[in-house]
Amino acid sequence: MLTLTVNGKNYEFSGDPTTPVLWFLRDELDLTGPKFGCGMAQCGACTVHIDGVAQRSCVLPVSAAVGRKITTIEGLSEDGDHPVQKAWLDNKVPQCGFCQCGQIMQAASLLASNPTPTDEEIVATMSGNICRCGTYPRIHKAIKAASKSIAGVEYYTPEKEGENA
């Protein structure tokens, strides 16, 4: 029996210890924010935080997550009010939405370790998160907005972009 900590709560798992964390989250806990895209750590749709750092849950066995804090987008904030989530809404980032939970978790991890990333750092960090809908420009804009928000600068919205440029 394994004990896994997800979004601040402990859960028991008695299945195969090689089961990917993604399937434990989705099938056992009904946390469907993390998505299955490729199953090969190639797309980022399944991204969660492990001890606060973005990781691909499709290739992480549950046995490797014991004793660590797993956070899904459902646990990123109390009311969807994490600065990255707010910036995503303000900038109307999603199109179909499939990749977006992974994108947000990757961006939140980036800003937690580097609150004011350069454009190059954003591109490098987000390059492993694929969006078939091509929302990359809005993703980039939203990360810049969240960065400004976290840094305490007046909150950035598309309407204010012209004023702040």
Binding stretches for ligand FES (CB under 6 A): 36-39, 41-46, 56, 58, 94-100, 131-133, 135
> How far apart, in whole angstroms, are the C-alpha atoms of residue 161 and residue 156?
7
Name the CA dihedral angle for 67, 72, 76, 80, rounded to a multiple of 10 degrees.
-160
Name residue 61's beta-bridge partners. Answer: 20
Q: Which one, of 106, 90, 91, 109, lies nearest residue 37 by Cα?
A: 106
Coarse DSSP helix, strand, coil percentages of the chain, rounded to the nearest 5 percent: 40, 15, 45
- DSSP-H helix ranges across 8-157: 21-23, 83-90, 100-113, 119-126, 136-150
Taking the complex as a whole, the smallest distance from the CB of residue 163 to ligand FES amounts, in Å, to: 28
Q: Considering beta carbons, is residue 80 or 97 the nearer one to ligand FES? A: 97
> How far apart, in whole angstroms, are the C-alpha atoms of residue 64 and residue 94?
31
Q: Considering beta carbons, is residue 54 or 148 the nearer one to ligand FES? A: 54
Q: Considering beta carbons, is residue 145 or 148 the nearer one to ligand FES? A: 145
Taking the complex as a whole, the smallest distance from the CB of residue 77 to ligand FES amounts, in Å, to: 20
Q: Which H helix or E strand runs over 54?
A: strand 53-56
Q: Considering beta carbons, is residue 7 or 55 the nearer one to ligand FES? A: 55
Taking the complex as a whole, the smallest distance from the CB of residue 17 to ligand FES amounts, in Å, to: 19
Taking the complex as a whole, the smallest distance from the CB of residue 18 to ligand FES amounts, in Å, to: 16
Q: Considering beta carbons, is residue 42 or 114 the nearer one to ligand FES? A: 42
Taking the complex as a whole, the smallest distance from the CB of residue 146 to ligand FES amounts, in Å, to: 17
